[in-house]
């Protein structure tokens, strides 16, 4: 294994543990929450220069959710997972992402149609 891969893997596990330690009240299964945190950590390690959870701001979260929307098929996640991820991130980091997905009253069809525009 190359050194860069080892460093990224170490950073990934550190981010997952740091995010897990901040998770308190989750309204869905802990397993699902962990998988969403792992997805976020994988994104942070591979696509950003974030070294710590404290470095995640609204802009980073907004870009992450756009990444999820653009790559949901490849990532194997659905709209509910993306919405849960938004709730989870908002609760853990106190970031407020002004994204149309936050409206849970909208139907999935409406949301996917907005994404296509």
Number of helices and strands in the chain (H, E): 5, 0
User: Count of alpha carbons within 13 Å of 8, Cβ hemisphere only?
Assistant: 13
* pLDDT tens readout for residues 19-58: 888 887 777 788 888 899 999 999 999 999 988 888 988 8
pTM for the whole structure: 0.79
* pLDDT tens readout for residues 56-114: 888 888 899 889 988 988 999 988 888 888 888 888 877 766 555 555 554 555 555 55
């Amino acid at each position: 294994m190359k050194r860069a891969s080892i460093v990224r893997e170490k950073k990934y596990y550190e981010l997952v543990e740091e995010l897990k330690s901040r998770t308190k009240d989750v309204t869905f299964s802990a397993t699902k929450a962990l998988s969403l945190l792992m997805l976020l950590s994988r994104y942070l390690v591979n696509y950003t220069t974030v070294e710590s959870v404290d470095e995640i701001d609204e802009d980073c979260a907004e870009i992450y959710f756009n990444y999820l929307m653009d790559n949901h098929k490849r990532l194997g996640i659905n709209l509910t997972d993306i919405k849960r991820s938004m709730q989870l991130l908002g609760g853990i980091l106190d970031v407020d992402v002004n994204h149309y997905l936050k409206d849970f009253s909208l139907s999935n069809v409406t949301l996917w149609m907005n994404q296509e525009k």
